[in-house]
């Protein structure tokens, strides 16, 4: 795929390393990257593998941190990403559910409270019997694209969403 780059950061056992390379980022910076991954996903802007690799490369470059990432394509390597996932088991690669931008913007506390206030007012006004109230499911109707790219997200969450602007009429 890409030509392998050899890094001058190889360490020997006299410095306390038994082969491999010295860590590119400190624990604090890596924790910040992991936190950013989870934060972006909760805001429906999950990072794809390429986004994560590009972001990590830029973090290293802007902070003048020595790294062995590919400078030609400006991406961190897959080995580093696999290491990040091993060191942060709370993050995994997940398939998100498409969520339209309009739905994400409308789903907030004031709108939900307004809906339930209006619903209770109507129920009080018309005195509907419980057997005359129905639940409708529009699961057969889709307004968003079918497939999203996999994103990094927190493990254990039941649903992972990604914004999609491909709505139909």
17 vs 2, higher pLDDT:
17
What are the structure tokens assigned to 116, written together? 């339930």
Q: What is the pLDDT of residue 30?
A: 93
Q: What is d(CA 65, CA 14) in angstroms, rounded to the nearest whole number? A: 23
DSSP character at residue 158: S
169 vs 126, higher pLDDT:
126
The reported pTM is 0.60
- 23-60 pLDDT, tens digit per residue, is 889 999 999 999 999 998 887 778 889 999 999 999 99
What's the pLDDT band for 102 if we cut at 50, 70, 90? low
- 138-167 pLDDT, tens digit per residue, is 666 555 455 667 777 777 766 565 555 555
- Average model confidence (pLDDT) for the chain? 78
Q: Which long-range contacts (CB under 8 A, 24 or more apart) does 74-80 make?
A: 75/50, 76/52, 77/53, 78/53, 80/24, 80/56
Compute the average pLDDT of residues 112-126.
Answer: 90
Helices (runs of H) and strands (runs of E) counted in the chain: 5, 4
């Amino acid at each position: 795929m890409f030509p392998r780059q050899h890094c001058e950061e190889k360490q020997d056992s006299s410095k306390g390393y038994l082969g491999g390379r010295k860590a590119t980022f400190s624990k604090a910076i890596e924790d910040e990257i992991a936190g950013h991954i989870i934060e972006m996903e909760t805001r429906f802007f999950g990072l794809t593998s390429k986004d994560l690799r590009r972001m990590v490369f830029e973090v290293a470059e802007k902070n003048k941190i020595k790294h062995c990432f590919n400078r030609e394509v400006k991406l961190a390597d897959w080995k580093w990403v696999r290491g990040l996932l091993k060191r942060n088991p709370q993050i995994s690669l997940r398939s998100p559910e498409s969520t339209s931008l309009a739905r994400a913007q409308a789903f907030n506390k004031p709108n939900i409270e307004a809906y339930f206030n209006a619903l209770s007012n109507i129920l009080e006004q018309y005195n509907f019997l419980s057997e005359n109230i129905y639940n409708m499911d529009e699961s057969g109707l889709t307004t968003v694209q079918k497939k999203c790219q996999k994103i990094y997200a927190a493990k254990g969450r039941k649903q992972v969403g990604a914004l999609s602007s491909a709505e139909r009429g």
